[in-house]
Amino acid sequence: MDEFHVPADEIQTRINRLQKKMQDNNLDGMLIVQRVDLFYFSGTAQNGLLYVPAEGDPILFIKKYMPRALKESSIKEIVDLRSIRDIPAIIMDFYGYLPESLGLEFDVLPVSDFNFYQTVLKAKRYLDGSTFILETRMIKSAWEIEQMEKTAEISGKTFEYMRSVIRPGLTEMELAGLSETFARRLGHGAYLNARNYQTRAYPWHILSGKNGGMVGFLDAPASGAGTSVAFPSGAGNKQLLAGEPVMVDLGTVLNGYHTDETRMFAIGNMPDRAMKACQASIEIHDKVLEHVKPGVVVSELFNLSVSEAGALGYAREYLGPEGYKVTFIGHGIGLELTEHPVIARDRDYVLEPGMIFSLEPKMVFENEFSAGIESVFLVTETGYRMISRVPVEIFIC
């Protein structure tokens, strides 16, 4: 297994930023239990919990596996936890007091777990700490940006590989399988982390021809043609044909850090109607990027994209058919596939340097095909910089 460590100063900076938010909101302590959040603030994803006080050093409680946690984490105080019921006594011994107000990740914590923690920890007030965590995570450091650039390199190579192997007669799933094998050899971690308690997402979505015209795939990226009737996911068993549009939506992860990119393919030639729609998606993509800079409200970017789609003649198909349109064109991305903030109609987050987004203006031509593009970019001090290494073009193979 390759060595990978989150630098100690990186962990300390993250904790300091979280503690500042806790102090500003009169929160005495935070108990972090979700696996990705645990990794972000401790450097290890072993089975455990992290207690962060409003001031002072945190305690990392490890249930399994202590030797690896000691190797991976730079947290000074790491405790081999026999029972969660021991946590209050350990906190009291370490700090001399128990928190009266305690933050938990309400957005992902099951109710049964919350009820259990209430009986064990006995704080006077329990608050939703997830917003503080997610807002800390949404600003990427130089080190994190470097990790995502490494992921983008794998994605770029994988898209190039797909250009070389795509051919008529392959099924969507066969193309996905070939490409996954190639990407895994480069370090792709296979499943993607989603903002659920312990859920992971499937990374390979290949939708050819009419499969791309299925209503619902935009707002449920784990759907698609699929090979399972009960739980459709990713590519399906449809054969790829020459002269039809093929949407490839690929999530890539390396050492926990994600990219999420989409490009349109065609074998031999792209039908004229689909080609024009794909080109329009790129125009919308580029128009939005022209307006990216610190201080811009994300809803302005969404509204700009809708306006541009209408001006190009695609108001009906943009973001899905009437009655099923999604209300976002992009999302933050990092240790999870979708992070704060979302570029959506009703969101008032302001762009800041260090935010990284996946931008995805897409169209659905119901029961015909889909068209779109998706790229990852960084908000800089003056505008934006592309993280994606995949050319912004339509791939005719």
Return the CATH number at 95.
Answer: 3.40.350.10
User: What is the model's pTM?
Assistant: 0.93
The reply to whether 187 and 42 lie within a common domain is no
Quote the number of domains for the chain: 2
* Residue 219 in this model has a pLDDT that exceeds 70: no
In a domain, 2, yes or no: no
In a domain, 296, yes or no: yes
What pLDDT does 221 receive?
41
What pLDDT does 232 receive?
65
Lowest mean pLDDT among 182-186, 195-199, 386-390: 195-199
What pLDDT does 197 receive?
61
* Residue 113 in this model has a pLDDT that exceeds 70: yes
What pLDDT does 126 receive?
97
pLDDT range class, residue 205, cuts 50, 70, 90? confident
Last residue of a domain, one of 101, 136, 171: 136
Closest Cα to residue 352, out of 288, 289, 295? Answer: 295
The reply to whether 112 and 163 lie within a common domain is no
| Residue range 293-307: mean pLDDT, rounded | 98
In a domain, 78, yes or no: yes
Residue 183 corresponds to which amino acid? A
The reply to whether 389 and 275 lie within a common domain is yes
What pLDDT does 99 receive?
96
What pLDDT does 261 receive?
97
**Residue 24 sits in which domain range?**
8-136
The reply to whether 127 and 153 lie within a common domain is no
* Residue 333 in this model has a pLDDT that exceeds 80: yes
**How many whole angstroms from its chain centre is CA 237?**
27
The reply to whether 223 and 170 lie within a common domain is yes
In a domain, 369, yes or no: yes
The reply to whether 129 and 164 lie within a common domain is no
**Residue 44 β-bridge partners:** none
What pLDDT does 6 receive?
97
pLDDT range class, residue 225, cuts 50, 70, 90? very low
Place of tokens 């190797």: 71
What pLDDT does 211 receive?
85
Last residue of a domain, one of 108, 136, 164: 136
| Residue range 332-340: mean pLDDT, rounded | 96
What pLDDT does 215 receive?
52
What pLDDT does 229 receive?
57
Over the chain, what HEC string results? CCCCCCCHHHHHHHHHHHHHHHHHCCCCEEEECCHHHHHHHHCCCCEEEEEEECCCCCEEEEEECHHHHHHHCCCCEEEECCCHHHHHHHHHHHHCCCCCEEEECCCCCCHHHHHHHHHHHCCCEEEECHHHHHHHHCCCCHHHHHHHHHHHHHHHHHHHHHHHHCCCCCEHHHHHHHHHHHHHHHCCCCCEECCCCCCEECCEEEEEHHHHHCCCCCCCCCCCCCCCCCCCCCCCCCECCCCCCEEEEEEEEECCEEEEEEEEEECCCCCHHHHHHHHHHHHHHHHHHHCCCCCCEHHHHHHHHHHHHHHCCCCCCECCCCCCCCCEEEEECCCCCCEEEEEECCCCCECCCCCEEEECCEEEECCCEEEECEEEEEECCCCEEECCCCCCCCEEC
CB within 8 Å of 267: residues ≥ 6 apart: 166, 167, 168, 240, 241, 242, 243, 244, 246, 397
* Residue 390 in this model has a pLDDT that exceeds 90: yes
pLDDT range class, residue 224, cuts 50, 70, 90? very low
Closest Cα to residue 205, out of 238, 242, 160? Answer: 238
Residue 11 corresponds to which amino acid? I
The reply to whether 147 and 113 lie within a common domain is no
Residue 372's domain is classified under what CATH number? 3.90.230.10
In a domain, 3, yes or no: no
The reply to whether 165 and 114 lie within a common domain is no
| Residue range 113-136: mean pLDDT, rounded | 95
pLDDT range class, residue 305, cuts 50, 70, 90? very high
In a domain, 93, yes or no: yes
Average pLDDT of the chain to the nearest whole number: 93
In a domain, 1, yes or no: no
The reply to whether 127 and 183 lie within a common domain is no
The reply to whether 351 and 214 lie within a common domain is yes
* Residue 231 in this model has a pLDDT that exceeds 80: no
What pLDDT does 223 receive?
40
Lowest mean pLDDT among 145-149, 230-234, 312-316: 230-234
Per-residue tokens: 21 = 């938010």
In a domain, 160, yes or no: yes
| Residue range 18-24: mean pLDDT, rounded | 98
Last residue of a domain, one of 104, 136, 168: 136
* Residue 198 in this model has a pLDDT that exceeds 90: no
228-256: string of b/e by CB count within 10 Å (b at 16+)? eeeebbbbbebebeeebbbbbbbbbbbeb
Closest Cα to residue 62, out of 43, 54, 53? Answer: 43
| Residue range 92-103: mean pLDDT, rounded | 96
What pLDDT does 234 receive?
76
* Residue 25 in this model has a pLDDT that exceeds 70: yes
The reply to whether 258 and 218 lie within a common domain is yes
Q: Quick one: 73 exposed, middle or buried, by C-beta within 10 A (0-12, 13-18, 19+)?
A: buried
- For the stretch 47-69, pLDDT in tens is 999 999 999 999 999 999 999 99
* Residue 143 in this model has a pLDDT that exceeds 50: yes
| Residue range 72-97: mean pLDDT, rounded | 96
**Residue 102 β-bridge partners:** 29, 126
The reply to whether 203 and 278 lie within a common domain is yes
